Amino acid sequence: MDFASLFSGLGIGFGVALDPINILFAFIGCLVGTLVGVLPGLGPTATIAILLPMTTSLSPVTGLITLAGIYYGAQYGGSTTSILLRLPGEASSVVTVLDGHGMTRKGRGGAALAIAAWGSFFAGTVGTLFIAVLGPAVSALVLKFGAPEYFMLMVLGLVASVVLAQGSVIRALAMVALGLLLGLVGTDPNSGQYRFTFGALELLNGIPFVPLVVGLFGIADILVALEKATKSEEEVRPAAIGSLWPTRQEARRAAPAAARGTLIGLILGLLPGGGALMSSFVAYSVEKRVSGKDGDFGNGDPAGVAAPEAANNAGAQTSFLPLLTLGIPSNAVMALMTGAMLLQGIVPGPKIMTNQPQLFWGLIVSMWIGNLMLLVINLPLVGVWVKMLKIRYTILYPIILIVSLVGIYSVDYSTFDVFLTALFGLLGYLLQRWRCEAAPLVLAVVLGPMMEEYFRRAMLIARGDAGIFVSRPLSLGLLVITLAMLASILAPNVRRFRSKAFQE
Amino acid sequence: MKSVIHRRAFLAGAAGLGSVALSARNGFAQQAWPARDITYVIPYAPGGMSDNISRLLSDKLGGMLGRQLLNDYRAGAGGAIGANYYMAQKPDGYSLLQATNSFFGVIPNVTKVEYDPKTDLTPLVLVGDAPMAIACNPAVPAKSLEEFVALAKKNPGKFAYGTSGHGTVGHLCGIWLAKRAGIEILHVPYRGASQALQSTLAGETQLFFGPEAAEQISGKALTGLGVMGSERWSAMPDLPTTAESGLAGWAPRSWHTVVIHSKAPEEIRLKLAKMLNDILAMPEVKQRLIMFGLIPGFEDLAGMRKRADDDYAEFRVLLVEAGLALKK
């Protein structure tokens, strides 16, 4: 793309996005999204579905800008609960829990929220530019990513998830194995046969994600706190809050991490089917590797918040590209956006850019405006959210429980999911007692089925020849990276370092 | 709150019936249908074709009835959860189910469901046929279905088709084509039609069945080989039908409908079918359906029943072939 048309495009885009009505609706979208993201369970997919009919009375651009605002807002809102309450709303914020909540325990919750907000804004800005400049060219590359490449990417992710754990490698591996086993529940992708569903139709699509994470993280945490409270016969004290703003030192840790996270998010976000999800924890693992001994991961390292949050948001931006340039929605939210476009009389696809420049560029510029608004909305809110921590736990915990369960019920209106949450809450409590970490387990549950799917698809396409994984350059490259990472985990000096870090 | 709703219900009922004295008398005796809002079960996640159709219809039908249609999403198990949920509703004419022919042809053949497709559910109207276009990657040197079949005969097992999963209409199109044309093609299931379409674009698979390919065919990113069935698709009139290509008779198809309990009062069923057909005949509704990629059409209640029963029998043959059918 030449620069003249880029600038004229951006000009059109700013013309559309700076229209007062569009600014207003971008603001409303971001605000609604933030609030929704804070409630566990009720994610962006459900909210957009509910609000979709209302947007049909708006002009197409305004409608899409509103929905896009909800999407980013929810991404951001989800990290608020992860950081403050250890309640991840979706897979991508599982990683934010580790150090985000670690910072909260150290009384740096406000700083963690501010770092997440700035990191997301930075990533959003770069992401918007990236889409505008390289978008159409890059989206063609997505097609080069076939089943073998996806499989290798998932393996890489799984190996990286061991790095996420703070404790013993053996325990982390055990959690990965358990997660993979849980991931077997559902429908066999190639034969359509049901596996371990025990006749429950609710399990045909596998173990639902939100009950799993809310149980393992949120509910389990409450159970552990209750146990402590009853044993010591004194109320668990809310964490001290401290300054709301990052210190200079924290900012210095966070800034380069956000930059690296953004880069990772931009690339992985392009890949439909798991790319955006992988970006946050690949970014986290990279930080852990880069920092080496300097890092204090798991106990509230600012880099551990900045990197996944930036990656997450950059990925959210680039996941629009396959929809806008190829007409292929890359996740459930994008599928809803397709629906929104169709209801407005627009067929998403390769022709959008030329036939509807107002819409294409308007949406892109409003992505950036939306990110700016999130910053404007969220920085003042940091103080409000952090005040939640001052609420006495005897009041806060019941509220968290009720809100979580209502949220979970509202996803599919299923009581089955509510019971499942309770069950995973219990499992999460036991795991904490046994000092096993839930993060690798959760990631294995998410990655396992995808890995199986891509592996079996690759084998189908290659007619059973496993050579396909090494004969394709991209796949081979990923394999080499994975092996290198595995070697570094197993290398004894690394292990010694890990156990030393654990004692601290 | 409750009394307000009741009063509004009463007023709406009275207003709607004002013109016909006879039914007005009935209305006062035992509030005429619809005396309250109607539940509209959508058995898929929001954002797909069924959701788009339901949004289009619920506005119009709600306006006609003076009631709201409350969209109730019950996704999961390829629609089986929604269907079972619908069966648990009272058959009193206050609930509808947005459905496809899968609820008659495929789901009851492969999943244990709590309904008999022949006696429990009545398809009211034909919302539209989803044309199953046949598209192939342009690297395959075939410009027509005949050329593709000839090529596939020379290279058994070399070509693969991507579908949105096991037992989906796309999969059954592949089984049917292989069986009728006497070729061997490999099935590769994906998670959703968009992933499958992408695989055909990228050349990971060579063949794709479904309306989703229209944009790519007209943009020349894929080669259009034809369309399943015996009627051409007005939006893509250049695609010959499989019947024209020498494969006559029933072919796997996909159509959308609105379903009601067969046990619902007959007058309600008839009234709803008429109202929905009136809505579907509106030019702006037709235009929207065409934009969604559907072919609007018309069938009366008997025609709908025949479609449902034919599909049950024909799909069963293919599902048995695929080793997916439940034992009866």
- Give the whole-angstrom CA distance, residue B220 versus residue B320: 36
Instruction: Give the strands of the sheet with B255-261, arranged side by side.
Output: B69-73, B38-42, B95-100, B255-261, B121-129
- Give the whole-angstrom CA distance, residue A126 versus residue A201: 43
- Give the whole-angstrom CA distance, residue A360 versus residue B31: 51
| Domains annotated on chain B, with CATH | 33-130+254-321 (3.40.190.150), 133-227 (3.40.190.10)
Burial category of A379 from C-beta neighbours within 10 Å (exposed 0-12, middle 13-18, buried 19 and up)? middle
Residues of B within 8 A of A273 (CB-CB) are 191, 195
Structure tokens at A362: 């308007």
pLDDT tier, B175 (very low <50, low <70, confident <90, very high otherwise): very high
Alpha helix (H) residue ranges in chain B: 2-17, 21-29, 49-65, 80-87, 102-105, 107-110, 145-154, 169-181, 193-202, 214-218, 266-281, 283-291, 301-321
Structure tokens at B140: 């395959």
- Give the whole-angstrom CA distance, residue B6 versus residue A340: 34
Closest chain A residue to the Cα of B75, Cα to Cα: A412
Cβ contact, residue pair A339, B51, below 8 Å: yes
- Give the whole-angstrom CA distance, residue A268 versus residue A279: 6
- Given its phi and psi angles, is residue B144 left (phi above 0), alpha (psi -120 to 50 degrees) or beta? beta
Cβ contact, residue pair B47, A338, below 8 Å: yes
Structure tokens at B305: 């029943």
End-to-end CA distance of chain A: 52
3-state secondary structure of B69: strand
B313 CB neighbour count, 10 Å cutoff: 11
Nearest by CB to A457, from B76, B188, B288: name it.
B188
Residues of A within 8 A of B81 (CB-CB) are 201-202
CA distances to A51, B83, B124, B255, B279 from B297, in Å: 30, 24, 13, 10, 12
Report which of A83, A78, A10 is spatially closest to residue A45, judged by C-alpha positions. Answer: A78
Structure tokens at A3: 């620069």
- Structure confidence by residue, pLDDT tens digits, A397-428: 888 888 888 878 877 778 898 999 999 999 99
3-state secondary structure of A178: helix
- Structure confidence by residue, pLDDT tens digits, A330-350: 677 777 787 778 777 777 766
CA distances to A159, A216, A298, A438, B234 from A432, in Å: 22, 9, 14, 8, 62
pLDDT score, position A335: 74
Cβ contact, residue pair A204, B48, below 8 Å: no
Is-contact B77 B134, C-beta < 8 A?
no
Count of the separate structural domains present in chain A: 1
Nearest by CB to B189, from A189, A351, A463: name it.
A189
Residue A324 identity? L
Q: What is the separation of C-alpha A172 from the centre of its chain, rounded to a whole number of angstroms? A: 21
The alpha-carbon gap from B230 to the nearest alpha carbon of chain A, in Å, equals 27
Q: Does A49 touch chain B (CB under 8 A)?
A: yes
- Give the whole-angstrom CA distance, residue A405 versus residue A422: 9
Residues of B within 8 A of A187 (CB-CB) are 166
Cβ contact, residue pair A189, B160, below 8 Å: no
Is-contact A420 A211, C-beta < 8 A?
yes
Q: What is the DSSP letter of A324?
A: I
DSSP structure string for B229-288: SSS-BTTBTTSPBTTTTT--S-----EEEEEEETTS-HHHHHHHHHHHHHHHHSHHHHHH
Structure tokens at A163: 């790095």
CB interface of A with B, residues 343-362, below 8 Å: 343, 345, 347, 349-351
Residue numbers of the domain that contains A55: 3-503
pLDDT in tens, chain A (504 residues): 566 777 888 888 888 888 888 889 889 988 888 887 777 666 677 777 777 767 777 888 888 888 888 888 887 777 888 888 887 766 677 888 888 888 888 888 888 988 998 998 999 889 888 888 876 676 667 777 788 988 888 888 788 777 666 667 788 889 989 999 999 998 887 777 788 888 787 887 788 887 888 888 888 888 888 887 777 655 555 556 667 788 888 888 888 999 999 998 888 887 765 666 778 878 888 888 787 777 778 788 899 899 999 998 888 888 777 777 766 676 777 777 877 787 777 777 667 777 778 888 888 888 888 888 888 888 888 788 777 777 777 888 888 888 888 878 877 778 898 999 999 999 999 998 898 888 888 888 888 888 888 899 999 988 888 899 999 888 898 899 888 877 876 765 555 655 665 554
**For residue A348, cis peptide bond before it (omega within 30 degrees of 0):** no
Instruction: Give backbone dihedrals phi and psi of A243, rounded to 5 degrees, phi first.
Output: -65, 145
Q: Does A240 touch chain B (CB under 8 A)?
A: no
3-state secondary structure of B300: coil
Kind and range of the H or E run holding A31 = helix A20-38
**Interface ipTM above 0.90:** no
Characterize A139-152 residue by residue with b for buried, 16 or more Cβ atoms within 10 angstroms of its Cβ, and e for exposed: beebbebbbbbbbb
Cβ contact, residue pair A273, B84, below 8 Å: no
Write the CB contacts of A250 (distance below 8 Å, at least 6 apart in sequence).
A108, A111, A115, A302
DSSP structure string for A130-150: HHHHHHHHHHHHHTT--HHHH
The alpha-carbon gap from B19 to the nearest alpha carbon of chain A, in Å, equals 32
Q: Does A461 touch chain B (CB under 8 A)?
A: yes
CB interface of A with B, residues 167-226, below 8 Å: 187, 189-192, 201-202, 204-205
The count of CB pairs under 8 A between chains A and B is 118
